Amino acid sequence: MVDVVFQPNSVLEARSKRKRASLRTALKRKSTAAFLMTLPLILLIAIMVIYPAFYSLHLATLNKSMQRFIGFGNFEFLFKRETFWLVVKQSCIFAITAVVFKALIGFIVAHFVHNIPAKGQRKWRGMLLVPWVIPGAMSVLGWRLLFEPSFGAFNWILEHLGMHRIFWLGETGWARFSVILVTVWFGAPFFMVMYLASLKSVPEELYEAASIDGATWWQRIRYVTFPMMRNIIAITMIFSLIGSFAGFTIVSVLTNGGPLGTTHVLGTAAFMVGIMGGNLPLGASVSLFMVPVLAVAAIYLLRGIAKRGSEV
C-alpha cells in the first residue's frame, strides 16, 4: 500500500527532472539562446512596425470619414491624378540619383581614408562623419540659410564672381538639385563608413598578387575590390533607397514640397494629404505605394547577393 500511495509522487518528480533537464539542454543550444535574446526586439518590431503596417492597409480601404469600406477606391483615385504620378516620378529621380552619387562619393572617400596612415585615419573619419551625426533637421536648416536668395553664402559667392543670383529653392530645376545635393551630403558618410569597413576586410595579399601580375590601379579596383565589396555595396544601396523613397525631413524642411509641389516625394505627399489635408485613408494609400516599388528593388538586389553567395 505504501508503494502504491507514493508511486505517483515519484513519477511526478521524475517527470519534473526530465523537464528541467530538457530546458537546460534547450538553453545550451546557441539557436535557442539567440532567439530568447532577440525576442524583446522581435516583440518591439511587431508592436511598432507590423501592427502599424497592417493598420495602414486597413485604413487605405476606407473612405475619407473612415466609416465605409471602399476597397481599392483610394488607389483608383490616385492613379487618375497627374499630380500623384509627378510625385512618383520625383521620388524615383531623387532616390536613384542620390543613391548613385552617395555610393560613388562614399567609395572614393573610403579609398582615400583607407590609404591614409593609421595615425591620421581617426581624424579624417571623425570629420567626414559630421554630416551623418548632426541631427537632420538642424543640418537642413543650415543648408536653407546657405540657399537663401538675399543673403545666402552661395549667392554671395556668385555675385563676387560676377554671376547672377540663383533662386535655389524658388525655381523647379534648382530646387530639385538642392534637395539631391543635401540628400547626398547627408547620406554619403554612411556609405563611406560601410565601404571603409569592407575595405579593411580585403586581404592585402590579393592586392600584392595583382601588383605582381602587373595590374593597374583600375584593374585592382575592378577585379579585386569590387568583387570583395559587392555584397556590402548592394546592402547599403537597399538601405539608402528605402530611406530616400521614404524621406521626409530634407524635403519638408528645405522646400516643403515647393515650388508648387515640384519637389514632393511620397513621404511628404502622404503627410500633406493625410495629416494636413485631413484625409488619412488617402494619405495611407500614398505611403503604401512605396511598398511594391521598394520590394521589387530589394528582391532584385538580395537575389544577386544570394546568387553570389552560392557561387563562393
Whether the predicted pLDDT of 3 surpasses 50: no
How confident is residue 104, by pLDDT bands cut at 50, 70 and 90? Answer: very high
Cα-Cα-Cα-Cα dihedral of 128, 132, 135, 139, to 10°? 60
Q: To which residue does cell 518528480 refer? A: 13
In this predicted structure, what is the pLDDT of residue 127? 80
Q: Are 61 and 70 in contact (CB under 8 A)?
A: yes
Q: What is the mean pLDDT of the chain?
A: 81
pLDDT digit string (tens) for 259-308?
888 898 888 888 898 888 888 899 889 888 878 777 777 777 777 666 65
Whether the predicted pLDDT of 86 surpasses 50: yes
How confident is residue 47, by pLDDT bands cut at 50, 70 and 90? Answer: confident
pLDDT digit string (tens) for 200-259?
888 888 888 888 888 888 888 888 888 888 888 888 888 888 778 777 888 888 988 888
Average pLDDT of the residues in 157-180: 89
Whether the predicted pLDDT of 6 surpasses 60: no
Secondary structure of residue 5 in the 3-state scheme: helix
In this predicted structure, what is the pLDDT of residue 300? 74
pLDDT digit string (tens) for 7-35?
455 555 555 555 555 656 655 666 677 77
CA 117 – CA 129 distance, rounded (Å): 18
pTM of the complete model: 0.78
Q: Which three cell numbers stand for residue 2?
A: 505504501
Q: Which spans in 150-265 are helix H?
A: 153-160, 172-200, 204-212, 217-220, 226-245, 249-254
Q: Are 61 and 292 in contact (CB under 8 A)?
A: no
CA distances (Å), origin 231, targets 109, 194, 226, 295, 307: 19, 11, 9, 18, 11
In this predicted structure, what is the pLDDT of residue 14? 55
Q: Are 256 and 262 in contact (CB under 8 A)?
A: no
Q: Are 186 and 132 in contact (CB under 8 A)?
A: yes
Going 75 to 78 to 79 to 85, the CA torsion angle's sign is: negative
